[in-house]
Amino acid sequence: MFLTNTFGPWSLFHPRSDMQDYMLTKGAVFSDRPRTLPVRNISSSAYGPTWRVLRRNLASEVLHPSRVKSYGSGRKWVLKILIDHLQKDAESRIADGVQVMDHFKYAMFCLLVFMCFGEKYDEDRIKEIASVQRRLLLLIGSGRFDILGIFPRLGRLLFINRWKELLQMRKDQEETLMPLIKARLESANSGVGDQEIVSYVDTLMNIQLPEEDGKKENDGKLTHKEMRKLYDEIVAVVGPSPQPSQKGEEVESVINEEDLQKMPYLKAVVLEGLRRHPPGHFVLPHRVSKEVELQGYVIPEGATINFLVADMGWDPKVWDDPMEFKPERFLSNDGTNGVFDISGSKGIKMMPFGAGRRICPGSDLALLHLEYFVANLIWYFDWTTPDGYHVDLSEKNEFTFVMKKPLQTRITPRTEKLTT
Ligand code: HEM
């Protein structure tokens, strides 16, 4: 859970009860069998021409499999930072264990920044970007500004302080990001700087936006046994863990993308994590583009539909022991990774990335990063809990769903194999 939730930038922002109220006021329905909804007939109100162009650009340029591969140097850079941070923290907190969430968040953020701007910035710069983005997302997610969207003109007058706060945040964001965008564009024009990859900013240079914006339109724990199995699979593919790096020495050997393809159990663990603890309990709200009848319900045109992503993955009619963490359910009888279709094109048993034409365009990238970091971190470190500490997997909604009580873990370089 702490891993899947670190890797997903999206989720729906309302807890379930708010969402139900919201849907009732909009005249939409909750289906008790949501997986049968005809997702392809449903479009979202936010799907305007600008968004369509940007989404196409994102999917075909930045998130295209060939491009995703080219970010390998960024992944390795981030893995080194992560291992270094974990190692340093672990050395100073041998008894209590390390709170790993912040390290994961920081590492994933470095990677996204690298993909966006094409540069490996220092820690101060990355933290500055993270702080401005996080503040914006948390405040928007809190619903404080919803009223400004519902009554745009009146809302700005009646809630002038909120409006000013929103404008100030936008300004802070621009002041932080614009210099980076300009620097990247200048270095591209002059041919200096790190041009080894094509970043998101690079791909925006040639985009023509349409003039009009889119206004019209086991209680779920990964146990030591499973970690052991995962570790054994990793060792069978890439050999024993590398020697722990000395202070200040760079991590050299890493498990690479090709090795991951030979690790079916790893893939099963990642899928099971996404099923049991999807980072988003809903996809983004979708709007019905024309009236449709579904299992006796008429869903009117314009109704807002929300898909119960988490509940689909926990449906006892579809999954055996749904609340148990059992990666084996994704393996075929011969132990290989069966062809589980996460895109839902052949039938939807779970949809952590959504489904249909608004499916998450970052799903391949997200799966690759999950596999890459899980495999490397299990290979490098032995993970145990500090004495007297119990992992609590209850969740809270914080833009994505995260652990209510952040994971505290004792991590030691693998000088010897895991004990059972
Ligand atoms: C574990 C990681 C991730 C999860 C579980 C996840 C899940 C989702 C979900 C559920 C949606 C809404 C789909 C819908 O409305 O039907 C979505 C949309 C989106 N995701 Fe992801 N995502 C993840 C990672 C990423 C990454 C790494 C990127 C990009 C780098 C990304 C980019 C997007 C974009 C741009 C959309 C909006 C698509 C649209 O509305 O057309 N996601 N994601």
Distance CA 83, CA 414 (A): 12
Over its length of 420 residues, how does the chain's per-residue pLDDT go in tens digits? Answer: 544 454 433 222 222 233 333 333 333 333 333 333 333 333 444 456 677 777 777 777 778 887 788 888 899 999 999 999 999 999 888 778 889 999 999 999 999 999 999 899 999 999 999 999 988 888 887 888 888 877 778 888 888 898 898 889 989 999 999 999 888 888 877 666 556 788 888 888 767 666 544 433 355 566 667 788 999 999 999 998 876 555 445 566 789 999 999 999 999 999 999 999 999 998 888 888 899 888 888 889 988 888 899 999 999 999 999 999 999 999 987 766 677 889 988 889 999 999 988 899 999 999 999 999 999 999 999 999 888 888 899 999 887 899 999 999 999 888 644 333
113, 194 Cβ separation under 8 angstroms:
no
Residue nearest to atom 20 of ligand 1 (CA): 360
Question: Which atom of ligand 1 is the closest one to the Cα of 282?
Answer: 10
Q: Which residues are annotated as a binding site for heme?
A: 360
**What number does the ligand 1 atom closest to the CA of 365 have?**
27
Q: Are 17 and 306 in contact (CB under 8 A)?
A: no
Name the residue of 306, 342, 360, 365 to mutate for ligand 1: max ligand atoms within 8 A of Cβ. 360
**What is the interface pTM, i.e. ipTM, of the complex?**
0.96
Of ligand 1's atoms, which has the minimum distance to the CA of residue 309? 10
Cα–Cα distance between 275 and 352 in angstroms, integer? 7
Smallest CA separation from ligand 1 atom 32, residue: 362
Model pTM greater than 0.90? no
- CA dist., res. 270 & res. 331, Å (int): 12
Closest-lying ligand 1 atom to the alpha carbon of residue 112 = 30
Q: Which residues are annotated as a binding site?
A: 360
Please state whether 295 falls in left (phi above 0), alpha (psi between -120 and 50) or beta. left
Residues with CB under 6 A from ligand 1: 4, 7-10, 55, 58, 279-280, 283-284, 352-354, 358-362, 365-366
Which residue has the least CA distance to atom 13 on ligand 1?
Answer: 354
